[in-house]
Amino acid sequence: MATLADVAKRAGVSVGVVSRLLNGDDTLRAREETKQRVRAAAAELEYTPNYAARALRKSRVGVIGLAVHDASNPVYSEIIAGAQAEATKAGYALMLSDVDALATDDERFKRFVSGGAIDGLLLQRAGTSADALVSKIASGEVPTVLLNDHTRGAIGSVAVDDYAAARLAVSHLIELGHRDIALLQVDGPRSRATRRRKGWADALEAAGLEARASRVFRGGHTAEQGYRGMSELLMEPTLPTAVFAANVLSAVGALSAAYDRDVQVPDGISLVGLHDVFVADFLQPRLTVVRLPLFELGARAVTLLLSQMENEPARHESIQTPEPVMVLRASTAPPARH
Amino acid sequence: MATLADVAKRAGVSVGVVSRLLNGDDTLRAREETKQRVRAAAAELEYTPNYAARALRKSRVGVIGLAVHDASNPVYSEIIAGAQAEATKAGYALMLSDVDALATDDERFKRFVSGGAIDGLLLQRAGTSADALVSKIASGEVPTVLLNDHTRGAIGSVAVDDYAAARLAVSHLIELGHRDIALLQVDGPRSRATRRRKGWADALEAAGLEARASRVFRGGHTAEQGYRGMSELLMEPTLPTAVFAANVLSAVGALSAAYDRDVQVPDGISLVGLHDVFVADFLQPRLTVVRLPLFELGARAVTLLLSQMENEPARHESIQTPEPVMVLRASTAPPARH
DNA sequence: CTGAAAGCGCTAACAA
DNA sequence: TTGTTAGCGCTTTCAG
Domain B4-49 has CATH 3.30.70: no
For B51, name the nearest residue in chain A, comparing CA atoms only: A115
Nearest nucleotide to the CA of A57, by C1', is: C8
The answer to whether B15 CB sits below 7 Å from nucleic acid chain C is yes
Burial, A334: exposed, middle or buried (Cβ in 10 Å; 0-12, 13-18, 19+)? Answer: middle
HSE value, Cβ hemisphere, 13 Å, CA-based, for A44: 12
Residue B1 banded pLDDT, cuts 50, 70, 90: confident
Element (H, E) at B8: helix B4-11
Residue A338 banded pLDDT, cuts 50, 70, 90: low
Nearest to A117 among B51, B76, B253 (CB): B51
Confidence check: pLDDT of B199 > 90: yes
Average pLDDT, chain B: 94
Mean pLDDT of B304-331: 96
Substitution target from B224, B275, B278, B286 for chain A, most A beta carbons within 10 A: B278
Comparing A60-159+293-319 with A162-292, is the CATH topology the same?
yes
The answer to whether B338 CB sits below 7 Å from nucleic acid chain C is no
User: What is the rounded distance in angstroms from the CA atom of residue B143 to the CA atom of residue B158?
Assistant: 14
pTM metric for this prediction: 0.92
The answer to whether B179 CB sits below 7 Å from nucleic acid chain C is no
Secondary structure letter of residue B279 according to DSSP = G
* Residues of chain A found within 8 Å of residue B115, distances taken between Cβ atoms: 48-51
Query: How do residues A162-196 score in pLDDT, each as one tens digit?
Result: 999 999 999 999 999 999 999 999 987 788 899 99
Nearest to A115 among B49, B111, B114 (CB): B49
Confidence check: pLDDT of B43 > 90: yes
DSSP β-ladder status, B288-291 and B325-327: antiparallel
Residue B130 banded pLDDT, cuts 50, 70, 90: very high
Residue B307 banded pLDDT, cuts 50, 70, 90: very high
CATH number of the structural domain A162-292 = 3.40.50.2300
Single out the residue of A231, A216, A225 nearest to residue A262, CA to CA: A231
Range among A187-196, B113-122, B126-135 with highest mean pLDDT value: B113-122
Nearest to B71 among A80, A101, A111 (CB): A80
Confidence check: pLDDT of B53 > 90: yes
Burial, A313: exposed, middle or buried (Cβ in 10 Å; 0-12, 13-18, 19+)? Answer: exposed
CATH superfamily label, B60-159+293-319: Response regulator (3.40.50.2300)
Give the domain ranges of chain A.
4-49, 60-159+293-319, 162-292
Query: How do residues B236-270 score in pLDDT, each as one tens digit?
Result: 999 999 999 999 999 999 999 999 999 999 999 99
Share of residues in chain B with pLDDT > 90 (%)? 85
Q: Does A61 sit within 8 Å of B71, measured CB to CB?
A: no
User: What is the rounded distance in angstroms from the CA atom of residue B91 to the CA atom of residue B299?
Assistant: 14
Distance B141 CA to C6 C1' (A): 32
Please give the protein residue whose CA is closest to the C1' of the nucleotide D13.
Answer: A16
Mean pLDDT of B268-292: 96
Nearest to B53 among A56, A114, A284 (CB): A56
User: Both ends of chain B: CA-CA distance in Å?
Assistant: 78
Question: Cα A119 to the chain's mean position, in Å?
Answer: 19
Mean pLDDT of A119-145: 94
Nearest nucleotide to the CA of B54, by C1', is: C10
Single out the residue of B217, B283, B216, B215 nearest to residue B249, CA to CA: B283
Helices A4-11, A32-44: axis angle to 10 degrees equals 130
Q: Does B49 sit within 8 Å of A111, measured CB to CB?
A: yes
**Residues 6 or more apart whose Cβ sits within 8 Å of residue B115:** A48, A49, A50, A51
Instruction: Specify whether the CB–CB gap between B221 and B282 falls below 8 A.
Output: no
At B338 the pLDDT is 55
At B166 the pLDDT is 98
Q: Where is pLDDT greater, at A188 or B50?
A: B50
* Residues of chain A found within 8 Å of residue B84, distances taken between Cβ atoms: 97-98, 101
Q: Does B52 sit within 8 Å of A116, measured CB to CB?
A: yes
Helices B223-233, B248-260: axis angle to 10 degrees equals 50
At A190 the pLDDT is 81
Q: Does A101 sit within 8 Å of B1, measured CB to CB?
A: no
At A72 the pLDDT is 77
Per-position DSSP letters for A143-165, written without gaps between them: -EEEES----TT-EEEEE-HHHH
User: What is the rounded distance in angstroms from the CA atom of residue B296 to the CA atom of residue A158?
Assistant: 37
Lowest mean pLDDT among A26-40, A117-131, A202-216, A281-295: A26-40
Secondary structure letter of residue A59 according to DSSP = T
Mean pLDDT of A64-71: 90
CB burial of B206-245 (b: ≥16 within 10 Å; e: otherwise) equals: eeebebeeebbbbbbbbbbbbbbbbbebbeeeeebbbbbb
Share of residues in chain A with pLDDT > 90 (%)? 84
Please give the protein residue whose CA is closest to the C1' of the nucleotide D3.
Answer: B14
User: What is the rounded distance in angstroms from the CA atom of residue B14 to the CA atom of residue B122?
Assistant: 40
Element (H, E) at B63: strand B63-68
Lowest mean pLDDT among A201-205, B89-93, B329-333: B89-93
Q: Does B284 sit within 8 Å of A116, measured CB to CB?
A: no
For B50, name the nearest residue in chain A, comparing CA atoms only: A115
Spatial strand order of the sheet with B156-160 comes to: B93-98, B63-68, B120-123, B144-147, B156-160, B316-319
